Structure 1
């Protein structure tokens, strides 16, 4: 496990989690058809290889965190499967070397932590491979129930990524309350979320995974991208940090031609 230590500006240190985000105290996904937008992303740089989450965005892109594409040389992407290693006829494996990171991404502070991987191969959509539906049309409200997914660690010292996709619900928190923990490192374009009694958190390897709000049974809206955990680790009671997508709607639409 490798954390990117950010500048110590305020009360607690934020750590980037540039490996797959495993959900601490999450639930294992049982059916591959429930969340067909999930993408497992293996990132290769000149010096290392690590894991991130992502979501299929339209037919040509994977939406993920800026830290997951910054400095990358290539990507191996798995779609259609809820496991990473089990035999699965639904799994589609793609490769890419093209990405776009937000032009104002700051790898030290994780401001504007948003990126996209360009998919060069054409492929058929299937019941287990479907894009996530929409961007939010309004800012994320406090106390909104959201859902998080990932193959990341389930403990601070556990293996990552894990084989089975995990998920759980969380609640979006008030930024002013979250600044009591993270201080002014938490910008207006970020949001904290926590599970009931702070039981659910993201962990190392969950970076880049989508934070999703559901409207009804099938309409999924990506309201955030997994970005950071507290320097106290994912087993602490500190909430997890995400990049809000709403402030970047225009940039995303102009880049991907998809809403």
Structure 2
């Protein structure tokens, strides 16, 4: 009898957890809103404009496949390497990388690459293992173009829970708009993985995901895919913009990032970069 009661309680708990999954996850790049789902205005969203040199490690990435163009962000992690999301590069034939840009129409310089320069994680499928490397021509570092450090190998099990971090990008200024010319930044707090799983389920929000809260309409949005999440304490790259709610960027659902610490060995093997 006791075993039966325990089993019933376990099943009930599992059903209760499943019932909390209220949002379908979608890559910001692919976000298409139904009319009138959300009418709140905002920026990256409800962030602030970045100042020159504030985010020297970000690159804007314009990608193309057979004449179809889309926009993503990425992070400089070495003189010849940019880290971004797999869903940004997996279907692309070529890309232009914009360095040192506050306004993306006026970068310090640009480099072009092709699909031969993309290294998509071999286990990438939809929302899982959403990480990709781009091999670039050599870039010299200075005040407005510089690398961001990865967490050390000793930090591979650090959840960064409750840490404050900065997300940045040229994404939509409100749900349904276009990407914007000026780089925006927003400070967001890392939440327990369980909070993210309550919205998206455990298959989407697995151990390779890190999530942040999105209070007051502050979030990443369409056009921010692949961009960085960098800790205020230590300036470490801990996340890559990966997914949000299909209801829009300003619903209050957590924003999901690829957890960089899960891929430190893979990055090391492909690039030789590690700390």
Fold-level similarity (TM above 0.5): yes
Contact residue 150 and residue 238 of structure 2 kept, 8 A: no
Which residue is equivalent to 2:206? 187
- Give the drift of 1:13: 0.7
Which residue is equivalent to 2:144? 128
Which residue is equivalent to 1:176? 194
Whose strand proportion is higher, 1 or 2?
A: 1
Find out whether 1:210 has 2:221 as its counterpart: no
Find out whether 1:252 has 2:263 as its counterpart: no
Contact residue 218 and residue 250 of structure 2 kept, 8 A: no
- Which among 155, 159, 164 is matched to residue 178 of structure 2? 159
Gaps of 5+ in 1: 1-9
Contact residue 23 and residue 153 of structure 1 kept, 8 A: yes
Find out whether 1:106 has 2:125 as its counterpart: yes
- Give the drift of 1:18: 2.2
SS in structure 2 at match of 1:75: strand
Provide the C-alpha distance between the structure 2 equivalents of 1:154 and 1:25, rounded to a whole number of angstroms. 8
Contact residue 37 and residue 56 of structure 1 kept, 8 A: yes
Matches within 5 A, 1:50-61: 50-61=70-81
Contact residue 19 and residue 206 of structure 1 kept, 8 A: no
Gaps of 5+ in 2: 1-20, 32-42
Provide the C-alpha distance between the structure 1 equivalents of 2:223 and 2:80, rounded to a whole number of angstroms. 23
- Which among 232, 236, 239 is matched to residue 224 of structure 1? 239
SS in structure 1 at match of 2:236: strand
Matches within 5 A, 1:29-178: 29-30=50-51, 32-46=52-66, 48-86=68-106, 91-97=108-114, 98-107=117-126, 110-119=127-136, 121-136=137-152, 137-138=154-155, 139-160=158-179, 162-178=180-196
- Give the drift of 1:180: 1.3
Provide the C-alpha distance between the structure 2 equivalents of 1:17 and 1:199, rounded to a whole number of angstroms. 15
Whose helix proportion is higher, 1 or 2?
A: 2
- Give the drift of 1:47: 5.2
Structure 2 length as normaliser, TM-score? 0.82
1:170-191 C-alpha deviation (Å, 9 max, x unpaired): 0111111221111122111112
Contact residue 130 and residue 258 of structure 2 kept, 8 A: yes
Give me the CA root mean square deviation. 1.7
Provide the C-alpha distance between the structure 2 equivalents of 1:134 and 1:191, rounded to a whole number of angstroms. 15
1:3-25 C-alpha deviation (Å, 9 max, x unpaired): xxxxxxx53211112279x6111
Aligned length: 237
Which residue is equivalent to 2:3? none
1:65-106 C-alpha deviation (Å, 9 max, x unpaired): 0101102110100101211124x6xx1110001110000000
